[in-house]
Amino acid sequence: MKTALVIGAGPAGLMAADVLAEHGLSVVVSDAKPSVARKFLMAGKSGLNLTKDEPFEAFLSAFEEAAPALRPMLEAFGPDQVRVWAEELGQEVFTGSTGRVFPRAMKASPLLRAWLGRLNDLGVEIKPRWRWIGEEDGFVFETPEGRQTVTADVAVLACGGASWARLGSDGAWANWIDAPLSPFQPANMGFVVNWSKHMAKHIGGPVKNVALCAGVQRVRGEFVISQTGLEGGGIYAVSRPMREGHDLTLDLLPDLSEDEIRKRLAKPRGKASLSNHLRKALRLDPVKQALLMEYARPLPADLAPVLKALPIRHDGPRPMDQAISTAGGIRLEALDKGLMLQHRPGVFAAGEMLDWEAPTGGYLLTACLATGRWAGQYAAEFAMAQTA
């Protein structure tokens, strides 16, 4: 029987193992942590956004320069296939108002349990606490039983990126893998702000119904004012252009034009304070007013341009280990069409350790599953094509 080694038991690695076992290979999955898919489970605490229900070309465009390379993988296993896959594992899914797709259970653990049960039925062996530390006549691991060396007909590397080290993605593999790499950078991360004292009462408060603009990107969304700065989906959606040096501005009233804002503010305010006037005339809530005071004092006579493009100063991204994901990793040109390392026949790579970047909202997880499935498929074909 042909053998396969999968290093990393996150979504990409488990999907590769699933496909390899379906093709009749004897599959061993190693993972450095005591249990599998820890980052996947952490993502599930906020609802487990599996994928996004939108036209395929719009979905693909989220991957920007990596889209051409990822296209065939996402065509083979994209949003529609992810929904079917989850339902075949007994997890009913639903689509929210924004197009995001979630399991009805709204958490990852039932899906993961069903998936691990399927892998067990396929004969996949999972070895926790097996940490890959390099190669020497095979793949070398530190294990509870001491140092072990494993050889296999094919191997799929699915070691993750370089964020959330405590969950297993520490990027240490980059120190010994022999492949061209792009440097790791934080992705889908918050940004540091040293708030003034008057913002203290707004810590933890959501900023809703705004448009965030950075570079050429403009997204409608919301975010949270945290103790250390800015966090949440809206910020993550523009984190790449912000990381690349583009300024962030907020449109606090995205449904109103400057002229409409001026018209409403021109109404007599009588003895009302400016705060009450902004609340009554524009329905500007306290947290938006606080941001206005934080970034635009002294207030100009014409508030309309500032309300439509409030400049947000920050002190850069949060540390990489606190990012949801990372950019960088094995360069796509170092891989063939099946995600096999050009210089390492029989060794494939998948998931977040590849040099692609995607926003949250289902894109990241779908591409991890799709690349894992693709690498597993080609690894199985490669193994079967080798003579005994």
What pLDDT score does 169 carry? 93
Q: Which of 277, 294, 312 corresponds to the end of one domain?
A: 312
Query: Quick one: pLDDT at residue 44?
Result: 81
Residues 230 and 287 in one domain: yes
What is the domain extent for residue 300?
Answer: 191-312
> What CATH number corresponds to the domain at position 72?
3.50.50.60
d(CA 307, CA 294): 13
Question: Please, are residues 50 and 77 in contact by the beta-carbon 8 Å criterion?
Answer: no
Residues 41 and 106 in one domain: yes
Residues 102 and 13 in one domain: yes
* Residue that is last in its domain, among 312, 332, 364: 312
Q: Are residues 119 and 142 both part of a single domain? A: yes
Q: How far apart are CA 224 and CA 25, in angstroms?
A: 47
How much is the pTM? 0.95
Look at residues 247, 277, 312 and tell me which one is the last residue of a structural domain.
Answer: 312
Query: Mapping DSSP to helix (H, G, I), strand (E, B) and coil, where does residue 372 land?
Result: helix
Asked if 162 contacts 153 with a C-beta cutoff of 8 angstroms, the reply is: no
Contact between 322 and 189 under an 8 Å Cβ cutoff? The reply is yes
* C-alpha to C-alpha distance for 77 and 61, rounded to whole angstroms: 16
Counting the structural domains of the chain, the total is: 2
Contact predicate 303/169, CB 8 Å:
no
Q: What is the pLDDT of residue 45?
A: 83
- Residue 102: how many other CB atoms lie within 10 Å: 21
Tell me the Cα Rg of the chain.
24
Per-residue pLDDT of the chain (388 residues; tens, 9 = 90+): 999 999 999 999 999 999 999 999 999 999 999 999 999 999 888 789 999 999 999 999 999 999 999 999 999 999 999 999 999 999 999 999 999 999 999 999 999 999 999 999 999 999 999 999 999 999 999 999 999 999 999 999 999 999 999 999 999 999 999 899 999 999 999 999 999 999 999 999 999 999 999 999 999 999 999 999 999 999 999 999 999 999 999 999 999 999 999 999 999 988 899 999 999 999 999 999 999 999 999 999 999 999 999 999 999 999 999 999 999 999 999 999 999 999 999 999 999 999 999 999 999 999 999 999 999 999 999 999 986 5
Are 310 and 247 contacting, i.e. CB atoms less than 8 angstroms apart? no
Six-digit token string for 125: 């062996």
How far apart, in whole angstroms, are the C-alpha atoms of residue 73 and residue 69? 8
Nearest alpha carbon to residue 43 among 98, 112, 141, 99: 112
Taking the CA atoms of residue 93, residue 94, residue 96 and residue 98 in that order, the dihedral angle to the nearest 10 degrees is 70
Please confirm whether the linkage preceding 345 is cis (ω < 30° from 0): no
Is the C-alpha dihedral spanning 312, 316, 322, 326 positive or negative? positive
- Unique residue bearing structure tokens 């959501």: 206
143 and 203 co-located in one domain: no
Same structural domain, 72 and 120: yes
Residues 242 and 274 in one domain: yes
> Same domain, yes or no, for 50 and 177?
yes
What distance in Å separates the CA atoms of residue 168 and residue 166, rounded to the nearest whole number? Answer: 6
In a shared domain, residues 84 and 217:
no
Residue from 287, 302, 10, 42 nearest 161 by CA: 10
> Do strands 229-231 and 325-330 pair parallel, antiparallel, or not at all (unpaired)?
unpaired
d(CA 35, CA 297): 51
Q: In this structure, are 199 and 105 located in the same domain? A: no
**What pLDDT is recorded for position 388?**
53
Q: Which residues of 328-345 are buried (b: 16+ CB within 10 A; e: fewer)?
A: bbbebebbeeebbbeebe
pLDDT at position 46 is: 78
Same domain, 46 and 133: yes
Do 115 and 214 fall into the same domain? no
CA–CA separation, 15 vs 367, rounded Å? 11
